[in-house]
Structures are given as structure tokens and as C-alpha cells.
Chains A and B, each alone.
Chain A
Amino acid sequence: MSGPSTYQPKSALGRWFEARLPIGGLVHSSFVAYPTPRNLNYWWTFGAILSFMLGAQIVTGIVLAMHYTPHVDYAFNSVETIMRDVNWGWFMRYAHANGASMFFIAVYIHMFRGLYYGSYKAPREVLWILGVIIYLLMMATGFMGYVLPWGQMSFWGAKVITNLFSAIPLVGNSVTTWLWGGYAVDNPTLNRFYSLHYLLPFMIAGVVVLHVWALHVVGQNNPDGIDVKNVEKDTVAFTPYATIKDSFAVVVFLIFYAWFVFFTPNYLGEPDNYIQANPLATPAHIVPEWYYLPFYAILRAIPDKLIGVCALFGAIIVLAFLPWLDTSRVRSGKYRPIFKVCFWLFVLSCLGLGWLGAQEPSGGYVIAARLLALYYFGFFLVLLPILGLVETPRTPPASIAEAVLRGKTATIDQH
């Protein structure tokens, strides 16, 4: 995806076709000849894992859509009927429901990796922002997908989240009514969520193409955060090197995925969602899916609704400004001693917020959520801009080849 290719098909038919539509060259330059830094570690395999998960979600989702009925009276039972009467339906449904969680686990690892190694810094700003857009689309898709089984959490989750928009001054209530397609979460809401839940994954796929395109123009970052200087010495070809490494990582990830699908399929879900939606019975404890919990905790940490909603969305939007908030000239966190500590505290604060998002919003929990939310925003808005100016980073190796050699001697020394 990066400019004209030198690819020459071997067969005459291939050359004839290539002269008319150079798709072979596109594939060759993107996934065969494309140079990848030699020093990539296994955290760099999550891009491939995410591509696999998107494919898996689309395939299982299309099959489920063939049997699902988007109607408030039938949706709940149609999902259960899929599990009982459709061949392999139990597998499709559990693979899809747990697949969403796997997709988010992988995307969070992918994002933290980018954050640690400074993958958002010049010249990868657009690449990073495309990633933030994919993440936003994933959140919307996941949310609407969770509504479709029309259980108690589906319904009340939908109600709480759509109600957030009523915080908008003046037009809030009109916006909420417009989103619902009526004066309550009802059949029109379920129908439009189903329609959008089917549409958004293909939009994600489109932005993924842009994301990969942008990646292949600027090249991958690497654990040492240094540029490729000598293609011969610093890189290896995507195929076979990255292909085989990524495939191995995908298979290992599949073992993890299979554990949930086959043995603990309801571990990440809520028992309440196996009770059909009932607008007259509020569950004692409304919790969103685990992947939204940190943001849910931020929302509830703030007593004012409008500011809370702004903080909720701000916590995601701030990611898009990351390339300009971080002032450090050194990319990789590996060579930034203070940043490293702040980064791991940031990871802990996200996990802490996630846990707090599932607790009752009262007493000590709210205070803890406020402190962690403060650190969350402080990390982006205060620490990253200042650290780059005051921190003395260690000197990264001069080249990737040197970094690889350095790593090797280090391991030899240890033996």
C-alpha cells in the first residue's frame, strides 16, 4: 500500500492481469515485501490478532443475523433458539459474545503498547488518530450489540447510556427522543441498533484499511523507538518473518479465546441478561460491559451530570491529542525512566477505575474514583507535556541493528 511495486507475476496470465489491475503488486508490497523492523517484540502481534478478531466477529455475526429477530417480543427468545435449535448456534453465539470481549482485550493491549513505545509520535499521528476512531466505532458497535439479546442489562444499559445525551443543554431531551425513535427505549430503538450494529463493523473494516495504509506509509514503530536507517540491516521482510510470528501469536490467542467460548462462556456476562427485558423492573445494580467500566467510573465520579458526560467522552477524545501532548523527543518509554513509572501508574489507574465502575457509587468508592480519574486526566494533560521537558532520557541505540545486537549480548552475558 505504499507506492508502485516492483512485483512481477511469474505466469503469463498473472502478468496480463497485473498490467490491467495491479492487485498482486498491492498485496505483494503490503504483506510480502513490506519491511518490518527486526527488533519487534510480541506486543506487536496484536495488530494481526485484532484483524483476525474483526474477521471472526463479522463471520459469526453474519450467521447470527440470519437467525436473529430484532423485535422486542421475539429478540430474547430468538437468541436462545439460536443456542438450542440452530446447528452450531451455541458456538456462533458464544463465540460472538465472547469475541467482543476478546476484541477489546486485544485492542487495550494494542493501545497500551502504542502508548508505552510512543507509537503515536511523529510521523505516526494520523495512524494513531485513525486508531482512536476505530476504538470509538468499536465502543459504539459493542454497546449496540449488547442491546440486541434484549435482556435486563441490554435494556437498562441502553436506557442509561442513551440518557447521557439528555445532559446536552437545551436540545438534550429532543436528542434522546430522536435516538430512541420514541419516548422510551422500545422496538424502534432495538431496530435501529440492530441496523447500526450490522453497519458499523464494515465502517471499522474501512478505517482499518486506512489504518494499515497509513502504517505502511510511515512504517512500524519498534520497541527502541528509532527510525529504520538501513533497510538491509534493520528490517526483515513481512513474509515470512512477520507472517509466521503473527500467525503463532494468533493461535496462542485462540487458545485463550477458546477457554472462554467452550468452558466459561458466561463468565464475562451478567446473569441478569438472561432475564428478558422488563421496562417496569429496574435491576438492583446496572453495570455496563466490562470494557466500558473505567469510563463509567469516571462518569459517576462527577456529581454534575453534564460535566460527568463531558469527562466520559473527554477521556476518549483526549487520546486523539496525545501526539501533541507528549513533548518528549525520545519515542520509546524504554529510555524514559520517569515516564515508565507514570505509565505503569496509568495502567493501574485504568484497572482501578474498571473495578470501581462495577461497584456501588457510594462513599469511599466515589472518592477513589475521583482520585484515579484525576490521575487519568493528569497523565495526559499535565505529566506528558511536562515530562518531555524535564526528564533526561537515556540514549537509545544508534540503529535497530545495534539494538538487536545489544539485546543479544545482554542475553549472552546473563548465561
Chain B
Amino acid sequence: MIRLKTLGLAALLAFGAASAARAQEVKTPERQSWTFAGPFGHFDQAQLQRGFEVFRTVCANCHSANLLAFRNLSQPGGPSFSESQVKALAAEYTVHDGPGDDGAMFDRPGRPADHWVPTYANPEAAKATLGAAPPDMSVLAKARGYETPLWRSLIDVFTQYQEAGADYIYSLVALGYSDKKDPNHNDYFPVAGNHIAMPKPLSDKQVDYADGTPPTVDNYARDVTAFLTWVAEPKLEERKKTGLRATIFLLIFAGLMYFTKKRVWADAH
């Protein structure tokens, strides 16, 4: 009984904080146009490669992505780096492994089968240095969203809107830091009165783009959001392609079944 009351109180306090934030106006993300939206959704390889560059040089300085393996970067439906590129990339990182035959832990160069090597060994270490533990980015694009009114949700199921997380991340990073005086103010951050522990992470010309895409915050944010969506849903392309085939098959099958049913029942009346 007491436990539930505390629980309710905690929820209430959290909600109180959220409503206080609402008083300061939490902005609802604007819906962006993404290549991976809708029934024919697919990733733009060049965009994922650029997004990876932003992730590697900016985000990964603080954030981990424990479910991402180097080998994923060369798999179909992703940024599709070549296997040799991935091998070279993995080798740039040092992996703490072991114990070896002598019973001691050792360091070795990374291999494609290794998972992404985080800057901080664990969330506690990150918190000790940064003041707050940055969330792991493996499924971040699926773990974020924003509230929509009922009527909008009902439309969303028909338009197949699944990009709430992407719209939120893009808005937060590209548009949210509107207060020149407070680097930790973000219009889209829903808790703690718009106060986000992460100061504005991106600025123009921060990352070099090899393909001539203008090096702007807006492009960085878009590209890294696409990349994070792929990290969260590496099978998205396969899923949607299979879905189209399955749906076409089922529609034809249903048609055949309907006419068979009619034929069978014709003599029953």
C-alpha cells in the first residue's frame, strides 16, 4: 500500500515536472520528410555514411551504441561500407579482451565482429566525467517520441507514421538550442523544465563531408538522425520490402478465396 502510494507520488512528481516544463512550452517536433518513411521506405546510403561520420566524430565522444557491431556497417540495407573499410575502421579501435592463456586481460586492435567501442567503459564512468550519463544510442530512435492527440494517432496508423523518434532527435539537435544565454536550454526536451544535460552538440563546419554536401548543422542533424534510425532498425528495408510482397500476395490470395467462397455458397441458397 505504502509502496504504491510512493510510486504514485513519484509518478505525480515526474508529471508535475513535466507540466512545469509544459508551462515553459515544450515544442512538438515538426514532422520531417525522411527517405525511410512509408511503405516504400529505404535508407539513403550516402546519407548513412555521412551520418556515421557525424556519429563517430561527435556523438560517440560521449554516447555508446552497444548493440552496433562494426560488421553491421558493411551489411546490406545500411551504410554499406566495403568489408575492407570496416576492417580498417575496426582496427583503429582498441578492444579490451581476455583473459588470455596467461590469465591476464589484454588490449588488441578491433575486428569487424566486435561491437562499437564506447568512450566510457560504463554509464557510471560517463556520469563521473560528464555530470550525467548520456543514453546509449543503439535503439534511441525507437525509444523517443512525443505525445500526439487521439485524432492524429488515428490518422498516423493509415499514413504509417513511425518516425516520431527521428523527428524528435532531429528537432532537438538542429532546432532546440534557441536560448543564446543558456547552452543547456532545449525547446524540445520534455523534462526538467527544458534543461538538457547535453550542451549544443553541433556547429557548422564541425565535420568534414567528403561528398560535397554543405557542412551545416541542419545537414549534420538530418544525416545523423537517419544513421541512428538505421542503428535502431537495421532490418527496416528488408522488413518493408518483405511487407510489400506479403501484402500483394495476401491481397491476391484474399481475392481468390472470396470468389471460391462465392462459388461454394452459390448452391446453398
Please name all residues of chain B whose beta carbon is closer than 8 Å to the beta carbon of A259 when the two chains form the complex: 247
Also in contact, A248 and B258, with CB within 8 A (given A38-B268, A284-B18): yes
Secondary structure type dominating chain A contacts: helix
- The verdict on B46 contacting chain A, using a C-beta distance below 8 Å, is no
- The verdict on B175 contacting chain A, using a C-beta distance below 8 Å, is no
Which of A135-143, A188-196, A238-246 has 4 or more CB atoms under 8 Å from chain B? A238-246
Q: List CB contacts (< 8 Å) of B56-81 with chain A.
A: 66-67, 72
The interface size bin for chain B is: 35 or more
- The verdict on B240 contacting chain A, using a C-beta distance below 8 Å, is yes
Q: Are A262 and B265 in contact (CB-based, < 8 A)?
A: no
Please name all residues of chain B whose beta carbon is closer than 8 Å to the beta carbon of A285 when the two chains form the complex: 11, 15, 18
The interface size bin for chain A is: 35 or more
User: How many whole Å from B225's CB to the nearest CB in chain A?
Assistant: 15
Q: Are A80 and B138 in contact (CB-based, < 8 A)?
A: yes
User: How many whole Å from B6's CB to the nearest CB in chain A?
Assistant: 10
Which of B89-97, B104-112, B204-212, B231-239 has 4 or more CB atoms under 8 Å from chain A? B231-239
Also in contact, A80 and B67, with CB within 8 A (given A244-B260, A271-B165): yes
Also in contact, A245 and B265, with CB within 8 A (given A166-B4, A167-B1): yes
Which of A83-91, A317-325, A373-381 has 4 or more CB atoms under 8 Å from chain B? A83-91
Write the chain B residue with the least CB distance to A360: B15
Please name all residues of chain B whose beta carbon is closer than 8 Å to the beta carbon of A77 when the two chains form the complex: 66-67
- The verdict on B131 contacting chain A, using a C-beta distance below 8 Å, is no
- The verdict on A371 contacting chain B, using a C-beta distance below 8 Å, is no
Also in contact, A262 and B243, with CB within 8 A (given A271-B145, A272-B143, A360-B15): yes
- The verdict on B250 contacting chain A, using a C-beta distance below 8 Å, is yes
Q: Are B235 and A267 in contact (CB-based, < 8 A)?
A: no
- The verdict on A305 contacting chain B, using a C-beta distance below 8 Å, is yes
State A227–B99 Cα separation when bound (angstroms): 76
Q: Are A241 and B265 in contact (CB-based, < 8 A)?
A: yes
- The verdict on B125 contacting chain A, using a C-beta distance below 8 Å, is no
User: How many whole Å from B78's CB to the nearest CB in chain A?
Assistant: 11
State A159–B244 Cα separation when bound (angstroms): 39
Also in contact, A408 and B235, with CB within 8 A (given A160-B7, A275-B143): no
Q: Are A262 and B239 in contact (CB-based, < 8 A)?
A: yes
- The verdict on B14 contacting chain A, using a C-beta distance below 8 Å, is yes
- The verdict on B246 contacting chain A, using a C-beta distance below 8 Å, is yes
Please name all residues of chain A whose beta carbon is closer than 8 Å to the beta carbon of B268 when the two chains form the complex: 38, 236, 241
User: How many whole Å from B31's CB to the nearest CB in chain A?
Assistant: 15
Q: Are A81 and B67 in contact (CB-based, < 8 A)?
A: yes
Write the chain B residue with the least CB distance to A285: B15
Write the chain A residue with the least CB distance to B234: A84
User: How many whole Å from A169's CB to the nearest CB in chain B?
Assistant: 10
Which of A13-21, A51-59, A250-258 has 4 or more CB atoms under 8 Å from chain B? A250-258
User: How many whole Å from A76's CB to the nearest CB in chain B?
Assistant: 9
Also in contact, A271 and B164, with CB within 8 A (given A166-B1, A248-B258): yes
- The verdict on A247 contacting chain B, using a C-beta distance below 8 Å, is yes
- The verdict on A174 contacting chain B, using a C-beta distance below 8 Å, is no
- The verdict on A200 contacting chain B, using a C-beta distance below 8 Å, is no
- The verdict on A384 contacting chain B, using a C-beta distance below 8 Å, is no
Please name all residues of chain B whose beta carbon is closer than 8 Å to the beta carbon of A244 when the two chains form the complex: 257, 260-261, 264-265
- The verdict on B121 contacting chain A, using a C-beta distance below 8 Å, is no
Q: Are A271 and B143 in contact (CB-based, < 8 A)?
A: yes
Q: Are A264 and B162 in contact (CB-based, < 8 A)?
A: yes
Q: Are A262 and B240 in contact (CB-based, < 8 A)?
A: yes
Please name all residues of chain A whose beta carbon is closer than 8 Å to the beta carbon of B17 when the two chains form the complex: 284
- The verdict on B150 contacting chain A, using a C-beta distance below 8 Å, is yes
- The verdict on A5 contacting chain B, using a C-beta distance below 8 Å, is no
User: How many whole Å from B243's CB to the nearest CB in chain A?
Assistant: 2
Q: List CB contacts (< 8 Å) of B153-192 with chain A.
A: 156-157, 160-162, 164-165, 190-191
User: How many whole Å from B262's CB to the nearest CB in chain A?
Assistant: 9
Q: Which of A163, A236, A248, A267 contacts B156 (CB 8 A)?
A: A267
Write the chain A residue with the least CB distance to B38: A263
B residues with a Cβ closer than 8 A to A are 1, 3-4, 7, 10-11, 14-15, 17-18, 39, 66-67, 72, 135, 138-139, 142-145, 150, 156-157, 160-162, 164-165, 190-191, 232, 234-235, 238-240, 242-244, 246-247, 250-251, 253-254, 257-258, 260-261, 264-265, 268-269
20 more contacts with CB within 8 A, not counting A84-B234, A244-B264, A284-B14, are: A77-B67, A80-B138, A84-B67, A160-B4, A163-B7, A240-B264, A241-B268, A245-B265, A251-B250, A251-B253, A254-B250, A255-B251, A262-B246, A263-B39, A264-B157, A267-B156, A267-B157, A283-B11, A305-B4, A404-B269
User: What are the 6 closest A-B residue pairs judged by CB atoms, nearest first?
Assistant: A262-B243, A274-B143, A271-B145, A248-B257, A90-B235, A284-B14
Can you identify 15 A-B contacts, CB atoms within 8 angstroms? A83-B235, A90-B239, A159-B7, A160-B4, A160-B7, A167-B1, A236-B268, A252-B254, A262-B240, A264-B160, A267-B156, A267-B162, A274-B139, A274-B232, A283-B14
